């Protein structure tokens, strides 16, 4: 079962989750690797098991019993159940990387029983929530295939689920993301997202929060608002905009065609989005995703929501946003070794092509 371990040098956390390797068929195709002792292989970032011809899709109607019972359901009509008439289902991940507190505390520590460890080895129970967002009962494969109403429903369900989770006092933050396409870590065909709520704020969001706070303290302005202002004025990296949202390729894009979607007006938490803005966000996101999906066949990208921690209703220095990372290149030695990336497509070219 999963546990959190702190890197004693960089003070960052990793989740060790051998149970994720227990998923039937969970492997990285075409890649040979040393197997853990129980003869299971793993795909650390993938979100689902590789479908075999005989597999039933656990996300299709009629197969609801293949997943744990839903924690949130959006229905066609009130009064319907988890297994009938649903439009969006949010269900616990069957192979979670995070566990409810009781379950996490009940787990014995990994490693040799009773062995003492060096003082620098700090572990913590992997407490949190790990859920799957089944966007639609239709067996389709990409976000781009969702209709306007399906994507709006999915965003609305995510918003409501986050609003419920933020009242859970042991949770600090939630990361919502989607892996679309095998190259982006998904091996389950049926389109879906994931939600991982943790007791600590994840490293990348924490780094953004810290840097944005520093900028705000010096200039009394949200750095994201400033970026939006500048990009609209220069218009070189803007992909598209709607009344309330903008899509742009960030100035220091890490990877080819990296694209961010941000609300134009300052807003720190995605779950605080007004219901009337969901249709606008849907239309801009669908438009942007359609462009991203044309970049490769089959499409492969990650779509990640970065939003503020749960401990505040609103903050001035952080601005929620969506980061879309097309997976057209494979991070290699330099990227792993340096923490930098080499991006062969400038964001100016990327935005021009995407506007195309
Ligand atoms: Zn399906
Ligand atoms: Zn802002
Ligand atoms: Zn971000």
Give the global pTM: 0.90
CA of 321 to the centre of ligand 3 (A): 6
Contacts of 77 (CB under 8 A, 6+ apart): 85
Q: How confident is the model at residue 49 (pLDDT cuts 50, 70, 90)?
A: very low
Highest mean pLDDT among 47-51, 76-80, 100-104, 267-271: 267-271
Q: For residues 335 and 343, what is the distance between their CA atoms, to the nearest angstrom?
A: 10
Average pLDDT over every residue of 202-206: 96
Six-digit token string for 331? 């991070």
Contact yes or no for 192/185 (Cβ under 8 A): no
Residue 285, H or E segment: helix 278-293
Q: Kindly state the average pLDDT of the residues 65-78.
A: 91
Q: Which residue has the tokens 């306007």?
A: 148
Cα(57) to centroid of ligand 1, in Å?
5
> Cα(148) to centroid of ligand 1, in Å?
19
Q: Are the CB atoms for 129 and 196 separated by under 8 Å?
A: yes
CB atoms within 10 A of CB 299: 22
What are the tens digits of pLDDT across the range 267-312?
999 999 999 999 999 999 999 999 999 999 999 999 999 999 999 9
Q: What does the alpha-carbon distance between residue 75 and residue 84 come to, in Å, rounded to a whole number? A: 8
- Asked if pLDDT for residue 262 goes beyond 50, the answer is yes
Is the model's pLDDT at 57 over the cut of 80? yes
By mean pLDDT, which of 65-79, 232-246, 305-319 is the weakest?
65-79
In the structure, what pLDDT confidence band is assigned to residue 231 with cuts at 50, 70 and 90?
very high
Residue 260 CA to ligand 2 centre (angstroms): 14
Q: Enumerate residues with CB within 5 Å of ligand 3 (an ion).
A: 306
Q: What is the pLDDT of residue 176?
A: 98
Q: Could you read off the pLDDT of 28-47 as tens digits, one per residue?
A: 433 333 434 333 333 444 55
Residue 88, SS3? strand
Closest CA to 40 of 15, 62, 20: 20
Neighbours of ion ligand 1 (CB under 5 A): 57, 59-60, 139, 190
Q: What is the pLDDT of residue 18?
A: 84
Q: How large is the C-alpha radius of gyration of the chain?
A: 20
Ligand nearest to the CA of residue 61, numbered in listed order: 1
d(CA 143, CA 230): 29
Instruction: Say how many C-beta atoms besides its own lie within 10 A of residue 24's C-beta.
Output: 11
The tens digit of pLDDT for each residue in 305-325 reads 999 999 999 999 999 999 999
Nearest ligand by distance to the CA of 226: 2
């Amino acid at each position: 079962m999963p546990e959190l371990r702190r890197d004693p040098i960089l003070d960052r956390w990793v989740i060790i989750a051998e149970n994720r390797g227990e998923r039937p068929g969970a492997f990285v195709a075409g890649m040979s690797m040393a197997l853990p002792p129980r003869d299971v292989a793993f795909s650390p970032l993938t979100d689902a098991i590789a479908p075999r011809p005989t597999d039933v899709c656990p996300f299709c109607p009629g197969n609801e019993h293949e997943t744990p019972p839903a924690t949130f359901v959006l229905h066609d009509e009130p009064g319907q159940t988890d297994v009938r008439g649903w439009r969006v289902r949010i269900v616990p991940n069957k192979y979670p990387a995070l566990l409810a507190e009781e379950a996490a505390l009940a787990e014995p520590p990994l490693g040799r029983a009773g062995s003492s460890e060096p003082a620098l080895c700090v572990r913590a129970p992997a407490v949190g929530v790990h859920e799957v967002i089944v966007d639609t009962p239709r067996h389709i494969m990409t976000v781009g295939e969702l209709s306007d109403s399906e994507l709006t429903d999915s965003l609305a369900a995510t918003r409501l689920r986050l609003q419920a989770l933020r009242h859970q006092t042991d949770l600090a933050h939630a990361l919502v993301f989607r892996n679309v396409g095998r190259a982006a870590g998904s091996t389950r065909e049926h389109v879906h997202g994931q939600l991982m709520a943790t007791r600590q704020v994840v490293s990348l969001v924490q780094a953004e929060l810290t840097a944005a706070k520093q900028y705000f303290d010096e200039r009394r302005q949200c750095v994201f608002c400033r970026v939006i202002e500048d990009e609209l004025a220069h218009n070189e990296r803007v992909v598209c905009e709607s009344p309330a949202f903008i899509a742009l390729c960030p100035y220091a894009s890490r990877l080819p065609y990296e694209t961010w979607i941000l609300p134009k007006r300052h807003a720190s938490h995605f779950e605080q989005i007004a219901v009337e803005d969901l249709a606008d966000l849907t239309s801009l996101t669908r438009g942007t995703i359609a462009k991203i999906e044309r970049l490769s066949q089959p499409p492969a990208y990650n779509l990640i929501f970065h939003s503020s921690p749960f401990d505040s209703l609103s903050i001035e220095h952080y601005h929620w946003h969506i980061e879309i990372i097309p997976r057209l290149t494979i991070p290699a030695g330099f990227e792993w070794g340096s923490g930098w990336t080499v991006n062969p497509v400038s964001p100016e070219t990327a935005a021009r092509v995407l506007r195309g």
